[in-house]
Structure formats: C-alpha cells, structure tokens
Amino acid sequence: MELHPFFWPDHKKLLFLKDASDRLEIEKPTAAIVTRYEKDEAGPKILQGRDWTKVLDKELVEDLGKYRKYNGATVRDLLRVIRNKSHHYRDLAPQVRKLLGTMPEGFLRYFLVKFPHLFIVTYAFIKRECAREPAFQSYFAGQESR
C-alpha cells in the first residue's frame, strides 16, 4: 500500500516538485494545463494573490536574478526556483545555503513553511492531470487517478 504523500520522505517530495516543474515548464504559459494549474488550482490556493518574490527572503530573491528571469505571479516559476536552486545548491552563496537549510529536509521546509499548500495542491493537480504519464507513474503506482 502506498503512503499518502503527506508521509513521503522529504527527498521524494522534493523530487516530485522538481518533476512537476519539469512537466509544466515544457508547456507554453498559455497552454490549457498551465492555465488550469495557475488560475484554477495553484495560484488561488498557494499564492493567494501574493507575489512569491515578496514572501521569499531578500538574499534568495537577489540570487535569483543572476541566472534567469522569474515571474513572481506564477507558481510555475516558483516551482522552477525550487528545481533550479536544488540542482545548483552547492553553487549558492554560503548565506543563501544557510537560509535554505540542509538538503533535502531544510531546503524543502523553507519553501513549505512559506507556501504551506504548495506540495499538496501540486500533488493533487498532477495526480488528476498527469498520473498516467511515464514521469509520474512511480508516484501513483497502485492508485486510481480520479
């Protein structure tokens, strides 16, 4: 029996968010799946009308602009930050690494404390929309997609 995602270990939760980011990133911003995620699901429940760059610590936000532009109004870009910063964790300035905490526990906790609904809303959306896709089958093995 598969554990409820709330009980997944931190490394699996982080991997799931990175996989979700990769899935949403391949789509155009106007694609139906992105629109459903941003407008119907993630935006209202996760961001609640906030710009996520105003929620993150200043040191992290300043580090973001060095490599790519992010839109603080989209959860898709927040997921991309999580993906990119986890992949390049060792390259981060020591003060940013300290802020984010250890990998994966502290790192994941940093984002989930600031955005408590991020993981479960993204999980529910991906389960409904993408569970049968090869990249997500291992997360939903033995579960019916409703």
Query: Using one digit for the tens of pLDDT, what is the confidence trace for 81-116?
Result: 999 999 999 999 999 999 999 999 999 999 999 999
- Name the burial class of residue 13, with classes exposed (0-12), middle (13-18) and buried (19+) by CB atoms within 10 angstroms of its CB: buried
Radius of gyration of the chain from its Cα atoms, rounded to whole angstroms = 15
Instruction: Say whether pLDDT at 1 is over 60.
Output: no
What's the pLDDT band for 2 if we cut at 50, 70, 90? Answer: low
Q: What is the spatial distance between Cα 22 and Cα 78, in angstroms, rounded to a whole number?
A: 12
Helix-, strand-, coil-residue percentages of the chain, each rounded to 5: 65, 0, 35
In this predicted structure, what is the pLDDT of residue 145? 41
Could you check whether the bond before residue 5 is cis, i.e. omega within 30 degrees of 0? no
The predicted model scores a pTM of 0.92
Percent of the chain with pLDDT over 70: 95
In this predicted structure, what is the pLDDT of residue 41? 84
Query: Using one digit for the tens of pLDDT, what is the confidence trace for 71-89?
Result: 999 999 999 999 999 999 9
Token duo for residue 75: 């959860």
